Amino acid sequence: MTTFKLSEPTVFADLNKAEGKEANHERSEISIKTLKYKHFRSVVQYPEADQMHHLMRIMTDLSEDDIGELTPNDAAGISHLIFDAMKEYMKLGQHIMKGIENPK
């Protein structure tokens, strides 16, 4: 797990409640989980347009309401982390496909 620095202090009411913090507690960073293969597998059940949203929720452990409190800059930053993880996963898929298409 790593931390993600938020572009501005943000209140996440549900996370604060879950952690026993005051309702108006502001955070300047949040914990981010590393995405795993199981996470990519789990989001295929959702429409493609919703998959990024669900991956963001998995990475941040934020509730539906809390994730809506992210600034556009922060949402973009977390999305960038997801795209980076997906890129590596897709490289593996491309390598496998090349092996299938061009067996030795």
One digit per residue, pLDDT tens: the chain, 104 residues?
899 999 999 999 999 999 999 999 999 999 999 988 888 888 888 888 898 999 999 999 999 999 999 999 999 999 999 888 888 767 765 655 566 667 66
Q: What is the DSSP letter of 69?
A: T
Selection from 38, 11, 46, 40 nearest residue 27 by Cα? 11
Phi, psi of 18, deg, nearest 5: -65, -30
**Model's pTM, two decimal places?**
0.78
Residue 11, both tokens: 């209140």
> What is the predicted pLDDT for the residue at 99?
60
